[in-house]
Amino acid sequence: MSLRLRLGLAISLAVAGALIGMSALLWLTERRLLHAGALARAETMARALAQVAEEAVVGDNDLLAIHYVRELPKEDPALRLAYVVVDGRVFAHTDSRLIGGPDPGLGGPDPGLGGPEGVLPAGDPRDAWTWRQPVRLPNGAGTAVVAYDATRVARRIAEDLRATAIRISEIAFVMLLAGLAVGWKLAETFSRPIAQLEGAAGAIGSGRLETRIPVTRKDELGRLALRFNAMAGQLQELDRMKRDFVAAVTHELKSPLAAIESYLALMLYEARRAGGAHPFEKDLKSIRAQTARLSRFIGDLLDIAKIERAEFALQRAPVALPAIIEEVVHSFAPMAEEAGIRLLTPAPAAAVPVVSADPDRVRQVLFNLVSNALKFTPRGGTVEIRLEPSAAEVACTVTDSGPGIPAELRERLFRRFVQGPNARAAARGPKGTGLGLAISKEIVEAHGGRIGLADERAGSGASFRFTLPCGNGGGAA
């Protein structure tokens, strides 16, 4: 799971959890407020009834209290009854038949919705809750009583809570969408610099030391990008110094080696002309072979230096690949015969288009591929060169019957100085330096072609394939 996805999910879950908690808190708060509001309405109605009763008694106006009590159920449908008791007699009642009668009586605590103690003249007390309010009179005492239908009150509270829950859900849904959008944006904001850092690190690891990260932030991630760019700059400078050093050293070594080779050739010539066995002839030949190997290595380093300095120029000309293959095979024929390896060449019947290429560089690519194939092919094996012409390009494949390329090495095979863990021990003849395939890749790509493994089955031999675009003339060799 990517970092962006993990961050997005974490922020989304946090937003969802916060919204659920806030919604539950709002719902519980609204529930408490609705219960408190119901009690407050009952208390307000009882106080108002007590005040009206007090005015009616003082003003000797019974009709005022009676009319007010009759109108109360219209104001609140949940009200079951209301009445006023003065000096033990009913002064006003929602049921006019009970006016003048005795006090309906006092009951115990009402277990309804948690209201105060109260009484009901009729009905199940568990279905109602009451509020009693004293009436202050100049002479005597009175009580104002309001009784609410508990079921109706509970239903009204439930309806209000349902409406509140719907409103909270709608608001929470909108906030959740906004939170998800903001969360994913934040996740992208935090993960993008890390993804850029990962990509830049991979690019530098593959050799593109000029890679830099754009710095658009001033926080810790921005400072990390600045340090990464500084590190990349230092690596690039060290690489430039290394390339300059290698180029200088190889140029300085090339002339002395050429002189050594010339002297060795002269000494061997003089030894053969003198006749007889020269006491140091074997040693001189060994020195000459090692000098030739060192010269090839220096030549590879010079090619790498030219590639890195963009001084790698091609001398293009119409090239017939069968002729170059024939030259390379002729050069390796003694080595193949000595090793007991069959060196197979393309069938001469196929017409191969002429390619526009540098013949020396193409010869170098074939030399590297055939040399590697012969080094790793056991006695009795085969090395085959095939040509596959098409209208746009010509493909050349070099296949051997050796142990093949290990899976862990295939992706790094064309990098510089890369060799298998046992390559030097398993190779026949002069040991390689790990530069041949890297140089071959640069040469082929400079021609506009491609190079790679044609068959990656480990244990069944290695098969390298490169392509070269056909020349404009379109002739055939």
Residue 214 in any domain: the answer is: no
Q: Of 308, 336, 361, which closes a domain?
A: 308
Measured CA to CA, the distance from residue 107 to residue 129 in angstroms comes to: 11
Task: Identify which of 93, 88, 95, 124 has the alpha carbon closest to the alpha carbon of residue 107.
Answer: 124
DSSP letter at 429 equals S
Query: Does 65 lie in the same domain as 20?
Result: yes
120 is a domain residue: yes
Rg of the chain's alpha carbons, rounded to an integer? 50
**H/E stretch holding 82:** strand 79-86
Query: Which pLDDT does position 309 carry in this prediction?
Result: 67
Read off the pLDDT of residues 340-397 as tens digits, 9 standing for 90 and up: 999 888 766 557 888 889 998 899 899 999 998 998 888 899 999 999 888 888 999 9
**What is the CATH classification number for the domain harbouring 64?**
3.30.450.20
pLDDT value of residue 455:
65
| 475 located within any domain | no
Residue 154: per-residue pLDDT: 86
Q: Which residues of the chain have pLDDT under 50?
A: 106-126, 473-476
Are 152 and 9 members of one domain? Answer: yes
Asked if residue 459 and residue 402 are part of one domain, the reply reads yes
The pLDDT, as a whole number, for residue 340 is 92
Take residue 40 and report the two structure tokens written for it. Answer: 């407050």
Q: Are residues 15 and 102 in the same domain?
A: yes
Q: Distance between CA 140 and CA 202 in Å, rounded?
A: 97
Whole-angstrom distance, CA of residue 258 vs CA of residue 291 = 9
Could you tell me if residue 228 is inside a domain?
yes
Dist CA 25 CA 31 (whole Å): 10
**24 in a structural domain:** yes
Q: State residue 118's pLDDT score.
A: 36
The verdict on 360 and 388 lying in the same domain is yes
Are 28 and 146 members of one domain? yes
Q: Residue with structure tokens 């390689």?
A: 432
**Spatial separation of the C-alpha atoms in residues 82 and 46, rounded to whole Å:** 8
Any domain includes 400: yes
CATH number at residue 227: 1.10.287.130
In a domain, 303, yes or no: yes
Q: Point out the domain boundary residue: 158, 173, 195.
A: 158
Same-domain status, 238 and 109 = no
Q: Does 259 share its domain with 378?
A: no
The pTM assigned to this predicted structure is 0.51
Are 351 and 384 part of one and the same domain? yes
Domain housing 393: 317-469
Q: How many domains does the chain have?
A: 3
* 8 Å CB contact between 95 and 66: no
CATH number of the domain within which 397 lies:
3.30.565.10
